[in-house]
Amino acid sequence: MSGFIGDWHALAILFVAGVIPNQIWRMLGLWFGGGIDENSELLVWVRAVATAILAGIIAQIVVQPPGALASVPDWLRYGAVAAGFVVFMLARKSIFAGVIAGEIVMIAGKYWLG
Amino acid sequence: MALPPLDSPQWHTSFRAFLWGARSIGATVLTLVLFATYLGIGALAHDSGFSLGWTLASTAFVWAGPAQIIVITTLGSGATVLQSAIAVTVSAIRLFPMVVSVLPMMRTEQTKRRHLILVAHLTAVTLWVECFRFLPQVPRNRRIAFIHGLGCGLVTVCLIANTIGYMLAANLTPLFAAGMLMLTPLAFLFSTARNCRELADVIALVLGLLLFPLAAMLNSGVDILVSGVVAGTIAYGVHRARAGIVGARA
């Protein structure tokens, strides 16, 4: 089983770096949720920061690509995201249409480049 | 797929309600988006050097795509545990208002807090969106069971997608492996864009995308936090300024 789990150290790190810092907010919501107004100013700010962090992660994967994605030229990755976005908007904000269009542009472009 | 009417005997047992919830994963295109996202996360984890067991554990216990991607990309690129934990916890703050707004929809007078622990764990953006769509069609006393079914169904779909993505990343040609890795940013970009309700959300998304490359030049190890807090705060400032102008006119 060691191949499946890998080392236990990595699993411990997952709990400290990923599980606990994530779950704490759900449990706080469960314990203290009753008295908070969903439209309060603080939550508007929290939502804006959370959205911007997510945007940063998206940008990181596209700008500093991991693994096999690094073999695709910069301009093609940016172009694929842009093409996907245009289709997403044209298809009345269909996530699925946008993803498929972006993928087609990138894979076709990379295939064409060889 | 249509749910049975509110007075149907189908809702008499919690177990039936659980099954209706689990079946409802077939009634939403978001399941397909989740599948694509978790296919991408499986491939990302593989290419960042994590084991399949680790990847599945992260899906089962974290159950939040952004947090999982942060852990994988930050740890994979050499950040410390503390840096990862800070970035994860900031990204997870958004779960707080989601849990707060979802729980009142299924609370009854008999509901104890411990009955809602699993619902709180399963709450993430997809479930949150689907609660508003499905729950009005589910009798109040069966809503917890229904959400357990829907949530467990979605987790199962994602565990399968993780496994497939992980296996494919190990065996695909570089061309298709790149395509799998690209699923994550595309799916997240468009689902975030779709969820933008107010101008502040739109500005946060656009500025967050543009500021990250600048923040990355700092090489601080918490670049995502820096660009996120700056972009989010500017977006909030615009929201406040606009509210002030509208308020002054009124």
Q: Select the more confidently predicted residue: B168 or A3.
A: B168
Q: What confidence score (pLDDT) does residue B205 get?
A: 94
Question: What percent of chain B is predicted at pLDDT more than 90?
Answer: 47
Least CB–CB distance from B209: residue in A59, A65, A93: A59
CB contact, 8 Å: A73 with chain B? no
Q: Does some domain include residue B130?
A: yes
Q: Does some domain include residue B160?
A: yes
Residue B101 has pLDDT above 90, yes or no: no
Residue B249 has pLDDT above 70, yes or no: no
- B58 with B143, same domain: the answer is yes
SS (H, E, C) B4-49: CCCCCHHHCCHHHHHHHHHHHHHHCHHHHHHHHHHHHHHHHHHHCC
Residue B49: Cβ-neighbour burial (10 angstroms; 0-12, 13-18, 19+): middle
Tokens of A99: 């993803």
Q: Does some domain include residue A75?
A: no
Q: Is A92 left (phi over 0), alpha (psi -120 to 50) or beta?
A: left
Tokens of B103: 């729980």
Contacts of B61 in chain A (CB under 8 A): 14-15, 18-19, 23
Predicted confidence band of residue A1 (pLDDT cuts 50, 70, 90): very low
- B175 with B227, same domain: the answer is no
- B54 with B80, same domain: the answer is yes
- B97 with B166, same domain: the answer is yes
**Interface contact A29-B75, CB threshold 8 A:** no
- B153 with B180, same domain: the answer is yes
**Interface contact B123-A99, CB threshold 8 A:** no
- Domain end call among B179, B195, B211: B195
- What's the full length of chain B, in residues? 250
Least CB–CB distance from A14: residue in B71, B187, B236: B71
pLDDT digits (tens, 9 = 90+) for B109-132: 888 888 999 999 999 978 887 887
Residue A35 has pLDDT above 80, yes or no: no
pLDDT digits (tens, 9 = 90+) for B153-166: 999 999 999 999 99
Q: Which domain holds residue B218?
A: 196-250
Question: What distance in Å separates residue A79's CA from the closest CA in chain B?
Answer: 12
Q: Does some domain include residue B98?
A: yes
Q: Does some domain include residue A4?
A: yes
What is the number of structural domains in chain B? 2
Q: Does some domain include residue B6?
A: no
- B183 with B202, same domain: the answer is no
Q: What confidence score (pLDDT) does residue B12 get?
A: 92
Q: Does some domain include residue A65?
A: no
- B188 with B231, same domain: the answer is no
pTM above threshold 0.90: no
pLDDT digits (tens, 9 = 90+) for B48-67: 899 999 999 999 999 998 89
- B104 with B39, same domain: the answer is yes
CB B174 within 8 Å of CB B49: no
- B245 with B149, same domain: the answer is no
d(CA A57, CA A49): 12
Q: Which domain holds residue A16?
A: 1-36
Three-class SS state of B89? helix
- Domain end call among B153, B172, B195: B195
Candidates B28, B73, B100, B176: best to mutate against A (most CBs of A within 10 A) is B100
CA distance readout (Å), B182 to A16, A69, A106, B145, B175: 28, 7, 9, 35, 11
DSSP category for residue A58: H
Predicted confidence band of residue A82 (pLDDT cuts 50, 70, 90): very high
Closest to B161 measured CA to CA, from B28, B26, B33, B11: B33
Q: Does some domain include residue B74?
A: yes
- Domain end call among B149, B166, B195: B195
Query: How high is the ipTM of this complex?
Result: 0.84
Torsion angle (degrees, nearest 10) of CA B177, B180, B185, B190:
150
Residue B250 has pLDDT above 60, yes or no: no
- B161 with B203, same domain: the answer is no
Q: What is the mean pLDDT of chain A?
A: 87
CB hemisphere CA count around B204 (13 angstroms): 29
Closest to B63 measured CA to CA, from B130, B145, B170, B162: B162
What ranges make up the beta strands (E) of A1-114? Answer: none
Residue A2 has pLDDT above 50, yes or no: no
- B185 with B121, same domain: the answer is yes
CA distance readout (Å), B14 to A100, B113, B121, B157: 38, 18, 19, 22
Q: What confidence score (pLDDT) does residue B79 get?
A: 81
- B143 with B235, same domain: the answer is no
Least CB–CB distance from A18: residue in B67, B103, B176: B67
Q: Does some domain include residue A41?
A: no
Scanning A13-52 for CB atoms below 8 A from B yields: 13-31, 33, 36, 38, 41, 43-52
CA distance readout (Å), B206 to A62, B34, B161: 14, 23, 29
What is the number of structural domains in chain A? 1
Tokens of B35: 């599948």
Q: What confidence score (pLDDT) does residue B21 get?
A: 96
